[in-house]
Amino acid sequence: MIIFQRCSLKRILQHAQCYLRSLENSKSLARAFPSVLLHGHRNTSSVPGIAERTLIAVKPDGVQRRLVGKVIQRFEQKGFKLVGLKMLQVSEDLLSQHYRELRTKPFYPSLVHYMTSGPVVVMVWEGHNVVQTSRAMVGQTNPAEARPGTVRGDFSIHVSRNVVHASDSLEGAQREIQLWFQGQELLTWTCCNHTNTYEE
Ligand code: DAT
Ligand code: MG
């Protein structure tokens, strides 16, 4: 009877240890999860860099000329995923942070005047290599040099009215996204045609 009690006590202790270990594992999972949610970069695919994000903005001339739909259409038809979108009147403060590298340029005052002259539509697009690809889709800064087929090449003539903004690097994109958007304004969602865009 005493032997039986010892055996079952030992088994109960083993079960308790096992339970405590699994509890510890689930605690460490719970610690990791919020950061995944915070960054909005849940990468459920084997395709590298699939959750890369960039900032695209239709500037005041593009909004006035009713080109917002055409710009969105190009990014949608390419296969990128829209994860944030809003229309706003830009403040000089936001703009001076956005264009901080250009503050000393002679054209900076007229750039600020034009960019704050009316609403802009700002977006975050997500997908594989989206930063580099969207720069190619937007075209050269000066529309005179932008190739036909690019947004600037097709819809603009002069460098001071070149319709769209696109982040020029991964670091630039991250900085600009944080500048223009609050975390909760960006959505993490699954596209229903995901497997027709990427190979798993
Ligand atoms: P991009 O918009 O291609 O990244 P950028 O960052 O060098 O180019 O310049 C930001 C914007 O400033 C650009 O889209 C239009 C304006 N800009 C640049 N060079 C200019 C110039 N020489 N004269 C007038 N505006 C200019
Ligand atoms: Mg730039």
Q: Where are the domains of the chain?
A: 1-39, 53-197
Q: Tokens for 25?
A: 């594992």
Residue 135 CB coordination number (10 Å):
17
| Residue 159 CA, ligand 1 centroid: distance in Å | 6
Task: Give the start-end residues of each E strand in 33-103.
Answer: 53-58, 81-88
Query: What is the tens place of the pLDDT at every residue in 112-124?
Result: 999 999 999 999 9
**Which atom of ligand 1 is least distant from the CA of 168?**
4
164-197 residue pLDDT tens: 999 999 999 999 999 999 999 999 999 998 999 9
Question: Who contacts 173 (Cβ-Cβ below 8 Å, separation ≥6)?
Answer: 52, 53, 54, 55, 131, 167
Confidence of residue 6 (pLDDT cuts 50, 70, 90): low
Ligand closest to 165 (CA) is: 1
CATH superfamily of 53-197: Nucleoside diphosphate kinase-like domain (3.30.70.141)
Ligand 1 centre to CA of 50 (Å) is 29
What b/e sequence results for 173-192 when a residue is b if at least 16 CB atoms lie within 10 Å of its CB, and e otherwise?
A: bbbbbeebbeeeebeeeeee
Ligand nearest to the CA of 144: 1
CA of 145 to the centre of ligand 2 (A): 15
Percent of the chain residues topping a pLDDT of 90: 71
Measured in angstroms, how far is the CA atom of residue 99 from the centroid of ligand 2? 8
Catalytic residue at 165? yes
> End-to-end distance of the chain based on CA atoms, in angstroms?
59
Query: Which of 71, 105, 111, 120 to probe ligand 1 with, by most ligand atoms within 8 A of CB?
Result: 111
- Spell out which residues line ligand 1, taking CB within 6 angstroms: 102, 107, 111, 141, 159-160, 162, 165, 168
The tens digit of pLDDT for each residue in 63-112 reads 999 999 999 999 999 999 999 999 999 999 999 999 999 999 999 999 99
How would you classify the pairing of strands 120-126 and 81-88?
Answer: antiparallel
In this prediction the pTM is 0.81
